[in-house]
A = this chain, B = another copy of it.
Amino acid sequence: MKKLKVGMIGGGGGFFGKVHHRAISLDATREVVAGALHQDPAMCAKFADEWGVVGYPDYKMMIADWKAGKLELDYVTIVTPNFLHAEQALACLEAGLPVMCEKPLSYSMKEALAIKALAKKRKKVPFALSHTYTGHPMMMLARELIQGGKIGDVRKVETYYNQGWLATLLEKTGQQQAAWRTNPKMSGISGCGGDIGTHALINALWTTGLGLKKVSARLTALPGRALDDDFNVFGQLSNGATLVLTSSQIAIGHKNDCGFRIYGSKGSIEWAQEHSEELHYFDGNTRVTYFQNIPVEGTSEALKTYGRIPCGHHEDFLEALANLHTSLERKIRVIKGEKNVAPSYNHPGVDEGVLGMKFLVAAVASSKKKGAWVSL
């Protein structure tokens, strides 16, 4: 089987480019071959050499080479700061190159809608959004159980994402990750909400299959910081159920603590990223814990194909991200006409991207209006 060829836009400076590089490489069915890794030509050359790929200081040159048949590419991964996503995503879609885009989808609502409009036109050009946690098989199982009726009607959803790395004004020290994430010009209207609150939201909505009608939010920031670093939202879901979303980047002690508790009329489902290979189901009397790769009755054929190693040998963050690439890969292979491609899972894309942006706009507005409910 021939490996898919991947181009990367961004990734030379931040840590997440290498994370995607590894997630792409892990299965040995995909490889990064080219990258607009940095805007500075010297830096780009340095990173390209380190990564062992062809470097382009400008992503447009990479697309141009591909169009000219000088470079083989099957899809592109975008890992730039938020304010750059839209231009790059639109250029790829326009050119006909499938995309794995980092979240949030864009800097502004207007941009998000532009991407959605183009993506809907380019139906043969798959567009994926890297909501990594949805790639965890146990979150995929949660989705199948809940949407299959296991816990009855969803009544309340608690979803959370807590970190502590911005408990001091780290951005004042020159730390690059902190600098762009707390800068409205690069991140957009929300800091914590955009960076991790949207993960908490999409984890919950993608799993339950529910929409979001309106929100009441409380956002705060440390003195001296322009964007929220603590982001808490009550919401009403499309079926009337209550959403409680809490996220923070000043929660000292929490490294990357996300998960959810979903309460239904017949039972509950809970998942936490820190023990991502377990899924807990409560029927009121007992707690039943499922483990990855142990088939649960009703598990879809598609889900069964996402495990790599026997139960007990844990797969985790990198494997979850790799699963998103696998879903995209399978769609691309089908479009290319390959036979016997395993079934692809329906991971987040442009719709979830637009939803995330609407959510941020509404939450920021509500917080400014002292918690008044704002519709999406």
Contact = CB atoms under 8 A, between A and B. Distances in A.
A372 interface: yes
A253 B308 contact: no
- Taken together, the copies of this chain in the complex come to 4
Contact of A218 (B18, B216, B288, B296): B216
Contact of A232 (B2, B165, B242): B242
Interface stretch (A103-111, A119-127, A155-163): A155-163
B285 A294 contact: yes
A198 interface: no
A306 to B, nearest CB: 14
A160 to B, nearest CB: 9
Contact-size category for A: 35 or more
A257 B49 contact: no
B288 A288 contact: yes
A60 interface: no
Contacts of A25: 25-28
A317 B312 CA distance: 9
Contacts of A218: 216, 234, 242
Interface stretch (A64-72, A88-96, A265-273, A329-337): A265-273
Contact of A314 (B18, B263, B276, B310): B276
A368 interface: no
Contacts of A28: 21-22, 24-25, 31-32, 51-52
Contacts of A309: 15, 19, 317-318
Interface in A213-271: 216, 218, 220, 230, 232, 234, 242, 244, 246, 248, 250-257, 261, 263-268, 270
B317 A255 contact: no
A283 interface: yes
A22 B26 contact: yes
A295 B254 CA distance: 16
A290 B248 CA distance: 22
A316 interface: yes
- A-B pairs, 3 with minimum CB distance: A253-B282, A255-B312, A256-B312
Interface of A: 1-3, 15, 18-19, 21-22, 24-29, 31-32, 49-52, 151, 155-156, 158, 163-165, 167, 216, 218, 220, 230, 232, 234, 242, 244, 246, 248, 250-257, 261, 263-268, 270, 274-276, 280, 282-291, 294-296, 308-319, 370-373
28 contacts: A1-B51, A18-B308, A22-B26, A26-B26, A155-B250, A156-B248, A163-B312, A164-B282, A167-B263, A216-B234, A218-B242, A232-B242, A251-B263, A252-B264, A252-B268, A252-B283, A253-B284, A255-B310, A256-B310, A256-B313, A275-B275, A286-B291, A287-B291, A309-B317, A313-B316, A316-B316, A318-B319, A372-B372
